[in-house]
Amino acid sequence: MFSCEILRIGHRPERDKRVTTHVALTARAFGAMRIYISKPDSRVIKSVQEVIDKFGGDFEILPTDNPKELVKKSGSKVIHLTMFGLPFDDKCEEIKNLDEDILFIVGAEKVPPWVFELADYNIAVGNQPHSEIAALAIAMNALHPISYNLDFSGRLSVIPSATHRNMMDSTQD
C-alpha cells in the first residue's frame, strides 16, 4: 500500500469542526498515516484521538502553522483534490503507478493559489461542488481498493450484522 498523508488546509474552527473531524476519520479509516491541520482545533484533535484510542491504529493528527512549508518539504507527490482539477479517472492509473508517497491536500475555504502551483496533480473527483470527505474517500479507495477493510487492532471492533449494532470490546470477557 502507498504511504499517504493528508493536509487539511483552511480549517475554520467555528464552521468546519465536524467536517474536518470527518475528513480525519475518513483518512484514518482508508489507511492514511496522518493528517495535518492548518489552524489547529483542539476539539477536532481530541475527537479524532478518542477514536484512535478506542478503535486502534497508528494514525496521527498534527497541527501545522506553515502548510506551504510542509508541502514544499514533504518529499511526497502532492495531490490537491479540487473540483477545478483534471478528472480523477483520467489520472488514476498514472497515480496508482507512482512509486512515491502521497500527500493529499483537502481544502476547507478557498485555497490560496500556491496550492495549485505546488501540487503535482490538481485532481477533480467530479467537477461539481460536493463534499471533500467524499472526494478523499473515493480517491483513496480507487488508489488502494481494500483500504477501507483494514484491521486496526483496537480495543473496540465492529461485528458486522444485517440487523443491529454489534461491537466487541477486547477488554471484556
Taking the C-alpha atoms of residue 97 and residue 77, their distance in angstroms, rounded to an integer, is 12
Q: In what helix (H) or strand (E) does residue 139 lie, and over which residues does it extend?
A: helix 132-143
Can you give the pLDDT of all 173 residues of the chain as single tens digits?
A: 569 999 999 888 788 889 999 999 999 999 999 999 998 889 999 999 999 999 999 999 999 999 999 999 999 999 999 999 999 999 999 999 998 999 999 998 889 999 999 999 999 999 888 999 999 999 999 988 777 778 888 899 999 999 999 999 988 86
Given a contact cutoff of 8 angstroms between Cβ atoms, the answer to whether 28 and 51 are in contact is yes
Given a contact cutoff of 8 angstroms between Cβ atoms, the answer to whether 55 and 154 are in contact is yes
Domain ranges for the chain, please list them: 4-169
Kindly state the cell numbers that stand for 139: 480517491
Residue type, 172: Q
Q: Model-level pTM greater than 0.75?
A: yes
Taking the C-alpha atoms of residue 56 and residue 120, their distance in angstroms, rounded to an integer, is 32
pLDDT at 13: 78
pLDDT at 12: 81
DSSP 12: -
Q: According to CATH, what is the number of the domain 4-169?
A: 3.40.1280.10
| C-alpha 125, offset from chain centre | 14
**96-117 CB burial, b ≥16 within 10 A, e <16:** eeeeeebbbbbbbeebeeebee
